[in-house]
């Protein structure tokens, strides 16, 4: 329908034909949509008809364009005088398009009307469909008439036009004659169409097509079409004006382009938050989700099981108060060193609390980690501003505080609601009972680390090793940019402390490592202590050659540690045991060793941790000169 309207408005012949194709394809699809055997046959027949007359018309318009130099209806007139053959065939093809008898267009249109009238998906849908079909056909009739009338009638205005060569017109002529001839002899086509309709819809019997069906509804509709179409054509001046007055639809392409540009803008808008610089913008939404989840949970959760046992001890409150005071200081402090110191204090308080909570290994590890972190931060902060950057605006600060409070509340509620409400877990009970007998170690936590869940430990060792090589890589990148900072002088007090403490720390480190299986200690703790000695030495000698531990190199430590960890794990495979089967029987052939292979595994961990600390201490020190780092990768 839209196509037909637009076609009627066109002056350009090719555009007219193009829009008319849109309209007619719409008609065909509409007929197929009726979904009866008759409609299938009608659609096929009309497709054939359409192919014939539309191709003819396009060819003829091409000829006109070629000869007269224009396709504009307003410029062309009286061409039948100059090229009578062309005019005749154009008229024939246009008559087919308009659906006039005796052309095949007439038969096709009849079949379509009949099929459309049969549509009965809804009440009145048949009438509605047929009505629309007729309307489209009326419009088609009108623009077909317009085409013929506009181009060929009237005085011949253009001079020097001759009839085109015969061979030029011949193909169009054949098709045009066919369109007319096939109308009365449609019975020839009928079997083919029936076959095709059958293929498309095996069930159902397509009707026999004929030129003359007698006085049917469809014939009436055809007559109506011709009548209305003629009227529309006769009053073409008025219809033209009416059509002009319709809102000028911007050509679709322009509108599409505008939509596309708008879409691009919307996309750019959506992409913009992804350009923010600092991490805070990105952390916001995951953090917001935490209190949201807590609220949903609070609404949705029913009554909780009661807490088992008394989880609070008298000393807890003291630590809690100290913790709160420290944290309050931390969030308000402006000095960078102060902030680092207060964070260290938090770690210290927590390790004390972990001791009272029955987790001495965790406490000792945390303590050593805090000390080392503090040392490294000090190294990084040398030559940096001693002050933290000013806070943001008051509003941003307030919003941050609100979110912080909400998240904290959610975390506290989650901890209170979801922990401490069941008895000792099944794996916990198993480990307490069986860890000693099966592994020979009495420190259950350590046996978990190096035996039961050695894969986790292997994973975290790999993490540390990768961090170590990453630090080396980062530091190289900075030093490669060619800055050369003066080295600080050795500090006599620290040198003295180092001379005194380092050997002791190393001995204790070895001791802690070896006894880890039975008492507090193990690879991590031992290596962290040795690492502290390294850090102290580095501070004391300001990055110049440090005695004793100065020869340690990151890469060999890491490689040896990794190979040891993975190798010990893989050693079990040849003898048909699972990966990381550790213990006395872990070696192929059950070779007798004076110690368990889990000790070897732990040694690998020790080496990796030490390697990381050596890398961190040396590479993160801003004042270290490239030459003083000694090793190259």
- Closest residue by Cα to residue 323 from 279, 288, 353: 353
Is 255 a binding residue for other proteins by CB under 8 A? The answer is no
- Closest residue by Cα to residue 488 from 542, 538, 540, 534: 542
> Shortest Cβ distance from residue 331 to other proteins (Å)?
5
Three-class SS of 591-604 = CCCCCCHHHHHHHH
Task: Measure the CA–CA gap between 69 and 568, rounded to whole angstroms.
Answer: 90
When the beta carbons of 246 and 271 are compared against other proteins, the nearer one is 271
When the beta carbons of 513 and 524 are compared against other proteins, the nearer one is 524
Is 114 a binding residue for other proteins by CB under 8 A? The answer is no
When the beta carbons of 449 and 587 are compared against other proteins, the nearer one is 449
Task: Measure the CA–CA gap between 362 and 350, rounded to whole angstroms.
Answer: 10
- The count of residues interacting with other proteins (CB under 8 A) is 177
Is 258 a binding residue for other proteins by CB under 8 A? The answer is no
Is 302 a binding residue for other proteins by CB under 8 A? The answer is yes
Among 152, 452, 513, 541, binds other proteins (CB under 8 A): 452
Q: Which of residues 398-417 bind other proteins (CB under 8 A)?
A: 400-401, 403-405, 407-409, 411-417
Is 358 a binding residue for other proteins by CB under 8 A? The answer is yes
* Cβ-contact 444, 431 below 8 angstroms: yes
Is 616 a binding residue for other proteins by CB under 8 A? The answer is yes
- Return the structure tokens found at 31: 């007929």
Q: Which of residues 370-389 bind other proteins (CB under 8 A)?
A: 372-373, 376-377, 380-381, 383-385, 387-389
Half-sphere exposure of 514 (CA within 13 A, CB side): 7
Is 218 a binding residue for other proteins by CB under 8 A? The answer is no
Is 343 a binding residue for other proteins by CB under 8 A? The answer is yes
Q: Which of residues 548-567 bind other proteins (CB under 8 A)?
A: 555-556, 558-559, 562-563, 566-567
Task: Measure the CA–CA gap between 16 and 19, rounded to whole angstroms.
Answer: 5
Chain CA centroid to CA 371, Å: 43
* Cβ-contact 227, 145 below 8 angstroms: no
When the beta carbons of 220 and 470 are compared against other proteins, the nearer one is 470
> Shortest Cβ distance from residue 298 to other proteins (Å)?
9
Phi-psi region of 98 (alpha: psi -120 to 50; beta: other; left: phi over 0): alpha
Is 460 a binding residue for other proteins by CB under 8 A? The answer is yes
Task: Measure the CA–CA gap between 432 and 614, rounded to whole angstroms.
Answer: 36
- Return the structure tokens found at 397: 């600060």
Among 170, 188, 234, 331, binds other proteins (CB under 8 A): 331
Selected range binding other proteins among 4-12, 135-143, 175-183, 390-398, rule: CB under 8 A: 390-398
Is 214 a binding residue for other proteins by CB under 8 A? The answer is no
Beta bridge pairs of residue 12:
72
Is 606 a binding residue for other proteins by CB under 8 A? The answer is no
> Shortest Cβ distance from residue 255 to other proteins (Å)?
15
Tokens 């409150």 — which residue?
A: 317
Is 390 a binding residue for other proteins by CB under 8 A? The answer is yes
Is 484 a binding residue for other proteins by CB under 8 A? The answer is no
When the beta carbons of 23 and 351 are compared against other proteins, the nearer one is 351
Report in angstroms the alpha-carbon separations of 394 from 219, 335, 387, 398, 404.
83, 19, 19, 6, 15
Q: Which residues of 191-221 are buried (b: 16+ CB within 10 A; e: fewer)?
A: eebbebbbeeeeeeebbebebeeeeeebbeb
Instruction: Write the DSSP symbol of residue 451.
Output: I
3-class DSSP state of 72: strand
Task: Measure the CA–CA gap between 131 and 117, rounded to whole angstroms.
Answer: 9
Phi, psi of 508, deg, nearest 5? -60, -40
Is 311 a binding residue for other proteins by CB under 8 A? The answer is yes
Among 97, 172, 232, 444, binds other proteins (CB under 8 A): 444
Among 481, 493, 551, 594, binds other proteins (CB under 8 A): 481
- Closest residue by Cα to residue 76 from 157, 5, 164, 160: 157
Selected range binding other proteins among 20-28, 57-65, 134-142, 437-445, rule: CB under 8 A: 437-445
Task: Measure the CA–CA gap between 521 and 299, rounded to whole angstroms.
Answer: 45
Q: Which of residues 260-299 bind other proteins (CB under 8 A)?
A: 260, 263-271, 273-287, 289-290, 293, 297
Is 234 a binding residue for other proteins by CB under 8 A? The answer is no
When the beta carbons of 507 and 563 are compared against other proteins, the nearer one is 563
Q: Which of residues 41-70 bind other proteins (CB under 8 A)?
A: none
- Return the structure tokens found at 124: 């009145």
* Cβ-contact 446, 361 below 8 angstroms: yes
> Shortest Cβ distance from residue 509 to other proteins (Å)?
16
> Shortest Cβ distance from residue 85 to other proteins (Å)?
45
Among 524, 549, 568, 587, binds other proteins (CB under 8 A): 524
Report in angstroms the alpha-carbon separations of 298 from 292, 293, 420, 421.
10, 9, 18, 17
Among 33, 191, 204, 427, binds other proteins (CB under 8 A): 427
Is 568 a binding residue for other proteins by CB under 8 A? The answer is no
Is 341 a binding residue for other proteins by CB under 8 A? The answer is no
Is 601 a binding residue for other proteins by CB under 8 A? The answer is no
When the beta carbons of 192 and 298 are compared against other proteins, the nearer one is 298
Cα dihedral sign, 12-15-19-21: positive
> Shortest Cβ distance from residue 514 to other proteins (Å)?
17
> Shortest Cβ distance from residue 214 to other proteins (Å)?
46
Is 494 a binding residue for other proteins by CB under 8 A? The answer is no
When the beta carbons of 228 and 357 are compared against other proteins, the nearer one is 357
- Closest residue by Cα to residue 609 from 541, 497, 513: 513
Report in angstroms the alpha-carbon separations of 357 from 316, 320, 334, 353, 606.
10, 13, 33, 6, 26
């Amino acid at each position: 329908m839209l196509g037909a309207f637009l076609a009627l408005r066109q002056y350009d012949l090719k555009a007219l034909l193009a829009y008319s194709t849109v309209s007619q394809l719409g008609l065909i699809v509409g007929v197929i949509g009726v979904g009866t055997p008759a409609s299938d046959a009608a659609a096929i027949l009309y497709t054939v008809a359409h192919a014939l007359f539309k191709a003819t018309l396009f060819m003829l318009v091409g000829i006109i364009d070629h000869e007269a130099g224009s396709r504009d209806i307003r410029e062309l007139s009286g061409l039948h005088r100059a090229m009578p053959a062309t005019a005749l065939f154009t008229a024939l093809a246009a008559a087919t398009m308009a659906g006039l008898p005796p052309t095949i267009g007439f038969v096709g249109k009849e079949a379509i009307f009949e099929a459309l009238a049969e549509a009965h998906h809804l009440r009145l849908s048949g009438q509605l469909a047929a009505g629309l079909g007729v309307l489209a056909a009326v419009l088609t009739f009108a623009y077909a008439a317009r085409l013929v009338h506009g181009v060929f009638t009237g005085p011949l205005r253009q001079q020097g036009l001759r009839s085109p060569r015969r061979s030029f017109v011949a193909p169009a002529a054949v098709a045009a004659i066919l369109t007319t001839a096939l109308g009365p002899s449609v019975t020839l086509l009928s079997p083919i169409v029936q076959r095709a309709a059958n293929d498309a819809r095996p069930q159902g019997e397509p009707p026999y097509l004929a030129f003359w069906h007698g006085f049917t509804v469809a014939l009436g509709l055809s007559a109506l079409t011709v009548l209305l179409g003629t009227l529309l054509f006769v009053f073409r001046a008025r219809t033209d004006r009416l059509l002009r007055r319709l809102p000028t639809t911007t050509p679709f392409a322009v509108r599409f382009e505008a939509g596309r540009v708008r879409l691009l803008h919307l996309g750019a808008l959506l992409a913009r938050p992804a350009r923010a610089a600092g991490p805070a913008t990105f952390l916001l939404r995951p953090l917001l989700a935490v209190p949201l989840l807590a609220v949903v949970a609070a609404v949705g959760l029913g009554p909780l099981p009661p807490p088992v046992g008394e989880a609070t001890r008298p000393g807890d409150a003291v630590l809690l108060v100290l913790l709160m005071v420290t944290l309050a200081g931390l969030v308000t402090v402006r000095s960078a060193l102060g902030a680092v110191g207060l964070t260290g204090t938090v770690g210290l308080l927590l390790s004390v609390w972990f001791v009272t909570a029955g987790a001495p290994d965790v406490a000792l590890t945390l303590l050593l980690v805090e000390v080392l972190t503090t040392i490294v931060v000090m190294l990084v902060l040398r030559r940096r501003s001693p002050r933290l950057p000013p806070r943001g605006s008051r509003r941003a600060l307030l919003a941050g505080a609100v979110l912080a409070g909400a998240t904290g509340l959610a975390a506290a509620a989650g901890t209170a609601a979801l922990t401490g409400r069941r008895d000792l877990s099944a794996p916990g009970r198993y480990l307490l009972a069986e860890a000693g007998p099966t592994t020979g170690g009495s420190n259950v936590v350590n046996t978990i680390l190096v035996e039961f869940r050695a894969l986790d430990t292997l994973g975290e060792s790999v993490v540390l090793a990768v961090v170590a090589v990453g630090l080396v890589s980062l530091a190289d990148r900075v030093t490669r940019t060619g800055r050369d900072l003066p080295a600080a002088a050795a500090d006599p007090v620290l040198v003295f402390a180092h001379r005194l403490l380092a050997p002791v720390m190393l001995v204790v480190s070895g001791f802690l490592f070896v006894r880890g299986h039975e008492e507090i200690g193990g690879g991590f703790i031992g290596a962290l202590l040795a690492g502290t000695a390294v850090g102290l030495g580095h501070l004391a000698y300001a990055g110049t050659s440090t005695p004793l531990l100065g020869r340690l190199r990151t890469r060999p430590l890491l490689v040896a540690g990794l190979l040891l960890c993975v190798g010990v794990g893989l050693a079990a495979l040849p003898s048909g045991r699972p990966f990381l089967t550790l213990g006395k029987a872990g070696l192929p052939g059950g070779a007798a060793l004076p110690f368990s292979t889990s000790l070897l595994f732990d040694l690998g961990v020790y080496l990796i941790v030490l390697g990381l600390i050596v890398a961190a201490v040396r590479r993160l020190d801003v004042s270290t000169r490239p030459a003083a780092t000694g090793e190259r990768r």
